[in-house]
């Protein structure tokens, strides 16, 4: 399985989109500061994830979620999560 995930940092009030084949390990790496892009936002919460059978599909979705139209989709996917933050 391959996963696309969205993390949220309360500290930075920001989201991060990524893809991995081992979701549990990757979230843990983000939370120990092993990624230079997310180390400032520790701790990160897993806000959303999708599972894909093929890596290329996960990468395609990750790249889409990082585009302008993808941001709109992210907002839709995280609607309930964002309501809970209020």
Whether the per-residue pLDDT at 82 is higher than 70: the answer is yes
What pLDDT, on a 0 to 100 scale, did the predictor assign at position 64?
98
Going by pLDDT thresholds of 50, 70 and 90, the confidence category of residue 85 is confident
- In this prediction, residues 2-23 reach a mean pLDDT of 97
What is the spatial distance between Cα 29 and Cα 37, in angstroms, rounded to a whole number?
A: 11
- Find all residues with CB under 8 Å of 86, minimum gap 6, and list them: none
Assess contact for 32 and 24: CB atoms under 8 A.
no
Residue 64, CA atoms < 13 Å, CB-side half-sphere: 10
What are the structural domains of the chain? 2-85 (3.40.1440)
Which pLDDT band, with edges at 50, 70 and 90, does 86 fall under? Answer: low
pLDDT tens per residue across span 29-38: 999 999 999 9
Helix, strand, coil content of the chain in percent (nearest 5):
45, 30, 25
pLDDT at 78: 94
Q: Which two tokens stand for residue 19?
A: 């893809």
Provide CB contacts within 8 A for 59, sequence distance 6+. Answer: 2, 19
Whole-model pTM: value is 0.93
């Amino acid at each position: 399985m391959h996963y696309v995930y969205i993390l949220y940092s309360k500290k930075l009030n920001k989201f991060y989109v990524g893809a991995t084949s081992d979701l549990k390990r990757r979230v843990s790496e983000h939370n120990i500061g092993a990624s230079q892009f997310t180390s400032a936002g520790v701790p990160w919460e897993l806000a959303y994830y999708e599972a894909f059978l093929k890596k290329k599909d996960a990468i395609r979705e990750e790249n889409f979620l990082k585009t302008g139209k993808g941001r709109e989709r992210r907002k839709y996917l995280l609607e309930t999560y964002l309501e809970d933050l209020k």
